[in-house]
């Protein structure tokens, strides 16, 4: 079982969101970066579990990003990935990232390519599906469970009103959502081992340029909260109906 | 050049999200559009009211096979010389839209929240903590819209319904089973959501949450620890790592309002917070607040909701 996991770097979930250069760039000043939670907690951990269960195989991570992503990439190695690849390109938008990943992986024979459900900064939920199309592989987004038997994957996903169980022929691409695995905290041994595991930097491939984020905007500040005394709690329902007109 | 729209109409009624997508596409085009769908859904001609002139349905495709559906959409896109393809940013749209974009080398807008200004599409980023304008520079555009982003128009006529005559190709995906998780309103579509957190103390205390939701015609949701402790099912978990929702009204009971929780609900139009701690961070993000014990306040809310229902 040869598995590729797409790891992206995102601002910490508590980071202050601000912009510079006339609201055209994210202000990274003082921001801590982490592995995108879906990539780390679900995609990577499930990949490791599948490899451990099979007793053979490898888990490779791939990140499209500058040298500043290497600390984040090491976290994936500390959790247990065997090797890491960094494609030396600044991510600009989804298709560009997907083309980089596809260019690297097209002749490597991965049985399984796992992405996260979405990045928590860009919130696209796009890259996995684009990689699948570029490699002509099946793709299931938002999977909450993944099992492999031989060359068939059984995948579960939440859909409106229930859970869908799908069977898919390998190789395939999927995006991982909550439920697929439990977060793993790297231990000291993992952190030490990560220092010597291979992190290969590959040059960027040529990509298409189809979109760019022109401007960011922060939402207008909330108005003051209207407090209702606990004794009069029922008044809330009345105000939601007559004043806010939302129920 | 034309605009087409891909929607999921499986199930026994046309989802609200599908009607929104058809409305969005026809507003974008300034004319009725062709809608593409699959599976065994009925009542497709009614999409005419929302702005479809024609509905092309691939009845033979029933599972969410993103390769077959991509073939379906790109076939019709080429037949209709489409330069804009609209999707819903839901589980189905997320399976197909990125593929179609990669195949057509199209700039793809994930989760547009409004009609564009020129080539600039507004969308949420940083889990709703900010918005961005994505400028699409490619000749073909793929746009997935968020739920509740456009009021549905209903003034069109009837649409003609056609069977897809092409070949969607072999399937590498089979639907083995669909496990129903009960009726209820699907969370992403709900206009009113009643949500509760660890302040409820235990799963046995959820009856008033469900009752209030029922009286208000609302969906129920919960914070992450509540789902992690299996007090409530995982699909109710909202926030940064759960479902992101944008209902008209979000009522949060016994939830502290951690930044990761807010990330999934801060797009709600109106937020009401009930918490016994006046310092709970959630009050800073709220429009209405009540400081008090949920177990004393819930019965009052239920009673008021019943009274409101009796009056209307
Ligand atoms: C990377 C990351 C991602 C995360 N993603 C999410 C996410 O997607 N969604 C999410 O929800 N969380 C998420 N979290 C967790 C988040 O940080 C909080 O821990 C969580 O939201 C707290 O849940 P809670 O408000 O239910 O519980 P608590 O923080 O324990 O708050 C309970 C609240 O109930 C109040 N209360 C207690 N008793 C009563 C009573 N009788 N009546 C009224 N009020 C009462 C208390 O005053 C308190 O404010 C994430 C955390 C991390 C690190
Ligand atoms: N720069 C990147 N490098 C590697 N993988 C990425 C990158 N950006 C996104 N991904 C992967 O694609 C998934 C979806 O990203 P997005 O389409 O941006 O929401 C993420 O969860 C990652 O697994």
* Interfacial A residues in 105-124 facing B (CB < 8 Å): 120-124
pTM of the model: 0.94
Q: Which of B200, B243, B261, B271 to mutate to test the pocket of ligand 1 (most atoms within 8 A of CB)?
A: B261
Residue to test with chain A: of B85, B94, B144, B307, most A Cβ within 10 A: B94
Closest partner residue to B135 (CB to CB) among A212, A222, A227 is A212
**Per-residue pLDDT averaged across B101-129, rounded?**
96
Residue in the structure block whose two tokens are 């304008």: B133
pLDDT in tens, B157-169: 999 999 999 999 9
Contact criterion met (CB < 8 Å) for B289 and A227: yes
Query: At B16, which helix (H) or strand (E)?
Result: helix B16-29
For chain B, give the mean pLDDT: 95
- From the list A149, A173, A176, A154, the residue with the least C-alpha distance to A165 is A154
B128 CB within 6 A, ligand 1: no
Contact call for residues A62 and A105 (beta carbons, < 8 A):
yes
Cα–Cα dist B8/B15, whole Å: 8
A131 CA closest ligand 2 atom index: 12
Cβ within 8 Å, pair B135-A122: no
**CA B212 – CA B218 distance, rounded (Å):** 8
Q: Which atom of ligand 2 is nearest to the CA of A119?
A: 19
Q: Which atom of ligand 1 is nearest to the CA of B282?
A: 49
Report yes or no: B174 and A166 within 8 Å, Cβ to Cβ.
Answer: yes
Nearest 5 degrees, angle CA A204-CA A210-CA A216?
A: 100
User: Does the pLDDT of residue B204 top 90, yes or no?
Assistant: yes
Q: Which ligand is nearest to the CA of B245?
A: 1
**B122 φψ region: left (φ > 0), alpha (ψ -120 to 50), beta (else):** beta
In the numeric block, which tokens belong to residue A238?
A: 């009345």
Give the Cβ contact number of residue B302 at 10 Å: 20
Q: A–B: how many Cβ contacts below 8 A?
A: 287
pLDDT of residue B11: 82
Mean pLDDT of B264-277: 96
| Angle between helical axes of A127-135 and B66-79 (0-180°, round to 10) | 80
Q: Which residues between 36 and 55 in chain A have a beta carbon less than 8 angstroms from any beta carbon of chain B?
A: 37-38, 41
User: Can you name the residues that pair with B196 across neighbouring β-strands?
Assistant: B222, B253
Give contacts of B292 with chain A, Cβ < 8 Å.
Answer: 230, 233
- Give percent of chain A above pLDDT 90: 95
When pLDDT is cut at 50, 70 and 90, the band that residue B148 belongs to is: confident
CA B277, B282, B287, B288 dihedral sign is negative
Q: How far apart are CA A125 and CA A111, in angstroms?
A: 21
| CA–CA distance, A113 with B241 (Å, rounded to integer) | 21
pLDDT tens digits, A125-153: 999 999 999 999 999 999 999 999 999 99
**A168-225 tens-digit pLDDT:** 999 999 999 998 999 999 999 999 999 999 999 999 999 999 999 999 999 888 889 9
- C-alpha–C-alpha distance, residues A83 and A62, integer Å: 9
Domain boundaries, chain B: 2-163, 187-311
The owner of tokens 């009274």 is B307
Q: Where are the alpha helices (DSSP H) in B142-239?
A: 207-216, 224-228
- Asked if the peptide bond before residue A171 counts as cis, ω within 30 degrees of 0, the response is yes
Q: What is the pLDDT of residue A206?
A: 95
Residue B147: the pLDDT is: 86
pLDDT (0 to 100) of residue A220: 85
Cβ of residue B208 closer than 8 Å to a chain A Cβ: no
Q: Which of B62, B72, B91, B291 to probe the A interface (max A CBs under 10 A)? A: B91
Distance A113 CA to ligand 2 centre (A): 12
Q: What is the pLDDT of residue B212?
A: 98
Topology match between the domains B2-163 and B187-311: yes
**Cβ–Cβ < 8 Å for A192, A145:** no
- Inter-chain residue contact A141 with B109, CB threshold 8 Å: no
* Cα distance between residue B119 and residue B134, in whole Å: 8
- Using CA coordinates, name the residue in chain B closest to A164: B178
* Number of other residues whose CB lies within 10 A of the CB of residue A149: 8
> Chain B residues with CB inside 8 Å of A125's CB?
89, 94, 98, 110
Q: Which of B10, B84, B272 to mutate to test the interface with A (most CBs of A within 10 A)?
A: B272
> What average pLDDT score do residues B35-42 get?
92
Q: For residue range A70-102, what is the model confidence (pLDDT) as tens digits?
A: 999 999 999 999 999 999 999 999 999 999 999
Residue B301: C-alpha distances to residues A245, B37, B63, B208, B253 (Å): 16, 42, 42, 9, 11
A64 vs A235: CA distance, rounded Å: 53
Mean pLDDT (whole number) for B7-36:
95
How do A139-149 and A152-159 pair as beta strands? Answer: antiparallel
Q: Is the pLDDT of residue A160 over 80?
A: no
> What residues contact residue A181 under an 8 Å CB cut-off, 6+ apart?
A41, A42, A45, A46, A49
* CB interface of A with B, residues 146-205, below 8 Å: 154, 157-169, 172, 175, 178-179
What does A67-129 look like in DSSP terms, one character per residue? GGGHHHHHHHHHHT-SEEEEEES---SHHHHHHHHHHHHTTS--SEEEEES--TTT----HHH
Question: Residue A200: which of A137, A112, A108 has the closest Cα?
Answer: A108
Most B CBs within 10 Å: which of A153, A225, A231, A232, as the mutation test of the B interface? A225
**What is the SS3 assignment for B1?**
coil
A100 CB near ligand 2 (under 6 Å): no
Candidates A133, A235, A244; nearest CB to B270: A244
Q: By the 8 A CB rule, do B38 and B7 touch? A: no
Which one of A157, A169, A211 has the shortest CB-CB distance to B137? Answer: A211
ipTM computed for the complex: 0.94
If pLDDT is split at 50, 70 and 90, which confidence band does B182 have?
low
Residue in B278, B277, B250 with CA at minimum distance from that of residue B263: B250
SS3 letters for A27-81? CCCCCCEEECHHHHHHHHHHHHHHHHHHCCCEEEEEEECCHHHHHHHHHHHHHCC
| Cα distance between residue A178 and residue A116, in whole Å | 10
A15: pLDDT strictly greater than 80: yes
Instruction: Judge whether residue B197 has pLDDT over 70.
Output: yes
CA distance B24 to chain A (A): 19
Q: Which of B133, B122, B261, B283 is nearest to A13 (CA)?
A: B261
How many angstroms away from the CA of B52 is the closest CA of chain A? 24
Structure tokens, A208: 């298409």
> What pLDDT is stored for residue B183 in this prediction?
62
Residue-wise pLDDT tens digits, B75-106? 999 999 999 999 999 999 999 999 999 999 99
CB nearest to A217's CB, from B130, B237, B259: B130
> Whole-angstrom Cα distance, residue B294 to residue B272?
13
To the question of domain B187-311 being in CATH 3.40.50.1220, the answer is yes
For the domain covering B2-163, report its CATH number. Answer: 3.40.50.620
Give the percent of chain B with pLDDT over 70.
Answer: 99
Q: How far is the CA of B39 from the centre of ligand 1 (A)?
A: 40
* pLDDT for the residue B114: 96
Average pLDDT over residues A15-34: 96
pLDDT band at A244 (very low <50, low <70, confident <90, very high): very high
Please report the pLDDT score of residue B56 as a whole number.
98
Residue B270: the pLDDT is 97
């Amino acid at each position: 079982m040869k598995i590729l996991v797409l790891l992206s770097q995102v601002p910490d979930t508590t980071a202050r969101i601000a912009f510079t250069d006339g609201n055209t760039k994210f202000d990274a000043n003082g921001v801590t970066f982490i592995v995108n939670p879906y990539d780390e907690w679900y995609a990577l951990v499930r990949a490791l579990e599948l490899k451990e269960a099979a007793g053979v195989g490898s888990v490779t991570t791939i990140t499209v990003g500058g040298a500043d992503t290497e600390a984040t990439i090491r976290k994936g190695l500390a959790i247990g990935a065997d090797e890491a690849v960094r494609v030396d390109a600044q991510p600009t938008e989804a298709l560009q990232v997907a083309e980089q990943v596809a260019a690297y992986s097209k002749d490597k024979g991965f049985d399984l390519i796992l992405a996260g459900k979405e990045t928590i900064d860009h919130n696209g939920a796009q890259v996995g599906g684009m990689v699948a199309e570029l490699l002509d592989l099946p793709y299931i987004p938002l999977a909450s469970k993944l099992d492999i038997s031989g060359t068939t994957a059984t995948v579960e996903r939440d859909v409106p009103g229930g859970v869908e169980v799908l069977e898919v022929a390998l190789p395939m691409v999927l995006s991982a959502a909550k439920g697929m695995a439990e977060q793993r905290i790297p231990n000291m041994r993992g952190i030490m081992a990560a220092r010597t595991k291979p992190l290969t930097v590959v040059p960027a491939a040529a990509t298409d340029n189809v979109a760019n984020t022109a401007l960011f905007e922060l939402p207008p500040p909330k108005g003051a909260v209207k407090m209702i005394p606990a004794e009069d709690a029922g008044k809330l329902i009345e105000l939601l109906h007559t004043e806010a007109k939302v129920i | 050049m034309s605009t087409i729209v891909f929607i999921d109409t499986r199930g026994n009624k046309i989802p609200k999200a599908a009607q929104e997508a058809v409305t969005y596409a026809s507003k974008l085009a300034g004319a009725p559009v062709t809608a593409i769908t699959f599976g065994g859904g009925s009542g497709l001609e009614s999409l005419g009211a929302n702005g479809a002139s024609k509905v092309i349905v691939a009845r033979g495709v029933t599972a969410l096979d993103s390769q077959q559906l991509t073939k379906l959409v790109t076939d019709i896109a080429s037949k209709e010389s489409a330069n804009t393809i609209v999707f819903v940013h839901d589980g189905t749209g997320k399976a197909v839209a990125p593929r179609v974009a990669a195949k057509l080398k199209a700039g793809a807008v994930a989760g547009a929240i409004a009609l564009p200004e020129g080539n600039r599409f507004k969308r949420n980023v940083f889990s709703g903590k900010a918005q961005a304008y994505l400028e699409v520079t490619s000749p073909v555009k793929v746009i997935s819209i968020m739920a509740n982003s456009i009021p549905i128009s209903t003034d069109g006529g009837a649409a003609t319904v056609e069977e897809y005559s092409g070949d969607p190709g072999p399937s590498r995906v089979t639907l083995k089973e669909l496990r129903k998780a009960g009726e209820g309103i699907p969370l992403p579509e709900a206009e009113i959501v009643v949500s509760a957190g660890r302040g409820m103390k235990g799963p046995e205390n959820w009856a008033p949450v469900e009752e209030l939701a029922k009286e208000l015609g609302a969906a129920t949701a919960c914070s992450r620890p509540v789902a992690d402790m299996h007090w409530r099912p995982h699909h109710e978990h909202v926030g940064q790592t759960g479902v992101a929702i944008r209902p008209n009204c979000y009522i949060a009971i016994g939830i502290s309002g951690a930044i990761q929780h807010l990330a999934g609900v801060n797009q709600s139009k109106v937020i009401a917070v009930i918490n016994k701690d006046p310092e709970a961070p959630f009050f800073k993000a709220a429009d209405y607040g009540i400081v008090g014990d949920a177990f004393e306040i819930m019965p009052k809310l239920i009673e008021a909701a019943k009274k409101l229902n009796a009056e209307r």
